[in-house]
Amino acid sequence: MRRILVKGAGVAGLTVAHELAVRGASVTVAEVRGQIGGNASWLAGGMLAPWCERESAEETVITLGKNAADWWERTLPGLVSRAGTLVVAHARDAFELARFAARTRNCESVDEEAIAALEPDLAGRFRQGLFFASEAHLDPRRVLEALAGKLRAMGVVFLFEAGEVALSGFDQMIDCTGIARADDDLRGVRGEMLLLRTRDVSLARPVRLLHPRHPIYIVPRADHHFMVGSTMIESDHDGPITARSLMELLNAAYALHPAFGEAEIVETGVGVRPAYPDNLPLVKCWKDGTITVNGLYRHGFLLSPAMAEQAAGLLFNSSAGNSSAGLESENEADRQRRSA
């Protein structure tokens, strides 16, 4: 039985651990934090929205992400909501909708009546929008905890507050440490978010509000909570949310529905998304035999299932794993895997 150490218990590490465990590996997950959470994955919106994301992402994000909702549903039944995504803009920003529609596909135009049918609380507020019916969302926190629970039940061992773990007891190490990984190609993209709570608005699905400067989305969660996200700042600084970002997110939520003005601010948070220069994720083999799964950027929940399958395939479908090939030649293989 292959003994594999997975470093990092974010969405990358946990999905990789799952794909290895179902293939019969003996898996240990080492995490520097004291428990699941507190990382970029914990702060995510949880949107599984490949068609919307195409607005600013490569086609690869659709190719790798279109089956993600099926993977999550199969892995953790009942935790995925398949209610689509609604995209709206105020009348003065109608050109933003046209631009968004031109850059995406797999959606239908919706008028005021159709918006009200989808989201009764938005009735009369928007004249037109776009509906991406095949998209889905999940609550990252519920999913990360449920996945860790499932992994424990499958025999995966968790080491929290882990320092350097001796590699001698393992056949392979897979590094899923996100922005902490020493990799010159990686950069951080800071994302600030809020968690609001109000009983005065109900939404059935993520709603994206387009705006030339401050596009935002609101993802409904259980118990009248709403995740409002998020900024995209080229920085790996994970200090507290700035006053400007807080104001912008709150203004945009208020513009979506004025009842958000009375909501409780339950939490503010900042996560740093790990990104490669092309904003696409990568399974990399390093000279020392380490495999890294990283660069999930703004698509951790959307793309980690496909990347975890790639990483597991690499270990189980070949005799690689202890590759001593140079990083340069391995990069070529990486590029091929990514475009496959």
Ligand X SMILES: Cc1cc2nc3c(=O)[nH]c(=O)nc-3n(C[C@H](O)[C@H](O)[C@H](O)COP(=O)(O)OP(=O)(O)OC[C@H]3O[C@@H](n4cnc5c(N)ncnc54)[C@H](O)[C@@H]3O)c2cc1C
Binding site for ligand X (CB under 6 A): 7-13, 30-33, 39-41, 43-47, 162, 176-178, 180, 191, 193, 229-230, 271, 273-274, 294, 296-302
3-class secondary-structure state, position 273 = strand
Chain-centroid distance of CA 23 in Å reads 24
Q: Toward ligand X, which CB reaches closer, 178 or 215?
A: 178
The CB-of-137 to ligand X minimum distance in angstroms stands at 7
> 125 exposed, middle or buried (CB, 10 Å; 0-12, 13-18, 19+)?
middle
Q: Which is nearer to ligand X, 104 or 128 (CB)?
A: 104
Contact partners, residue 295, CB within 8 Å, separation at least 6: 185, 186, 274, 275, 276, 279, 280, 281, 282
Q: Nearest distance from residue 55's CB to ligand X, in Å?
A: 14
Q: What type of residue sits at position 310? A: Q
Q: Which residue is nearest to ligand X (CB)?
A: 10
Closest contact distance (angstroms) between CB of 33 and ligand X is 5
Q: How far is the CB of 127 from ligand X (least distance, A)?
A: 26
CB-wise, 257 or 273, nearer to ligand X?
273
Nearer to ligand X, 171 or 236 (CB): 236
User: Could you tell me the smallest distance in angstroms from the CB atom of residue 319 to ligand X?
Assistant: 27
- Residue pair 324/287 in contact (Cβ under 8 Å)? The answer is yes
> Between vectors from CA 52 to CA 86 and to CA 227, what angle results, nearest 5°?
60
Q: Pick between residue 191 and residue 215 the one whose CB is nearest to ligand X.
A: 191
Q: Are 173 and 5 in contact (CB under 8 A)?
A: yes
